[in-house]
Amino acid sequence: MYNTSDIRNGLKVEIDGAPFTVTYFQFVKPGKGTAFTRTKLKNLLTGNTIERTFRTGEKLPPADVAEHEMQYMYTDANGSHFMNTESYEQVAIQSDVIGDDSVYLLEGMNVNVLFYKGNPVNIDLPYFVELEVTYTEPAVKGNTSQGALKEAETVTGARVMVPLFVETGDVLKVDTRTREYVERVNR
């Protein structure tokens, strides 16, 4: 059990039968009354954020979570398959757990997989991935106003808005957090 004095960013606790991670905390000691800790917690299963206040002396149960570095192998009808880089154990993760992040998975990519009570519940992608453009419209002469963008489809199926100079076959660096184009990569 954690005490309120143990609360810090990244701490994983269980509240109402679900795992949460602390994203923000503030210790408050008012002039009158007892001290308390104000927190923002992110649900690791749904991604929703809640605010909770804990009085000094309250106990918080730790969440039964484990994080493992795993390598993406392939996707089939059973889900996306990952291999633990230490034990070589393989696990299939359903598409509803991965969600929209599946369009950034490349074969051989290492990701962190979060397990709650032995079941995979979330993956953390690298911040940046390099994806090859499989199709984009050619730039039209005269369409060069500042900041003009066009859509490009990548080898994984991700659609990214890119500048007009990007062509089919180029390799892009994409930010997986914002899902935006960062730069063109020279190879």
How is 57-71 classified by DSSP, letter by letter? T-EEPBP-EEEEEEE
- Check residue 144 and give its pLDDT: 60
User: Average pLDDT over the chain, rounded to whole?
Assistant: 90
pLDDT band at 141 (very low <50, low <70, confident <90, very high): low
β-strand pairing of 110-116 with 119-124: antiparallel
Whole-model pTM over 0.85: no
- Check residue 130 and give its pLDDT: 93
Residues of the chain with CATH 2.40.50.140: 65-124, 128-185
> Minimal CA–CA distance to 71: which of 52, 97, 89, 46?
89
> Minimal CA–CA distance to 120: which of 62, 175, 79, 179?
79
Nearest 10 degrees: Cα torsion 112, 118, 119, 121: -40
- Nearest-5° Cα angle at 184, 180 to 187: 140
* CB-CB neighbours of 33 under 10 Å: 9
Fold that domain 128-185 belongs to in CATH = OB fold (Dihydrolipoamide Acetyltransferase, E2P) (2.40.50)
Architecture of domain 65-124: Beta Barrel (2.40)
Tens of pLDDT, residues 47-93: 899 999 999 989 999 999 999 999 999 999 889 999 999 999 999 99
- Check residue 98 and give its pLDDT: 87
**What b/e readout covers 129-138, taking b as 16+ CB neighbours within 10 angstroms?**
bebbbeebee
Is residue 183 helix, strand or coil?
A: strand
Residues of the chain with CATH 2.30.30.30: 2-60
pLDDT band at 142 (very low <50, low <70, confident <90, very high): low
CATH number of 2-60: 2.30.30.30
Tens of pLDDT, residues 150-160: 899 999 999 99
Is residue 97 helix, strand or coil?
A: helix
Tens of pLDDT, residues 114-129: 899 888 988 889 999 9
Residue 2 has, within 13 A of its CA and on its CB side, a CA count of: 17
**Percentage of the residues of the chain whose pLDDT score is greater than 90:** 62
Q: At a CB cut-off of 8 Å and minimum separation 6, what does 83 contact?
A: 70, 71, 73, 89, 90
* 155-169 mean pLDDT: 90
- Amino acid identity of residue 155, one-letter, is V
Q: At a CB cut-off of 8 Å and minimum separation 6, what does 41 contact?
A: 13, 15, 20, 21, 22, 23, 49, 50, 51, 52
Does the pLDDT of residue 177 top 80, yes or no?
yes
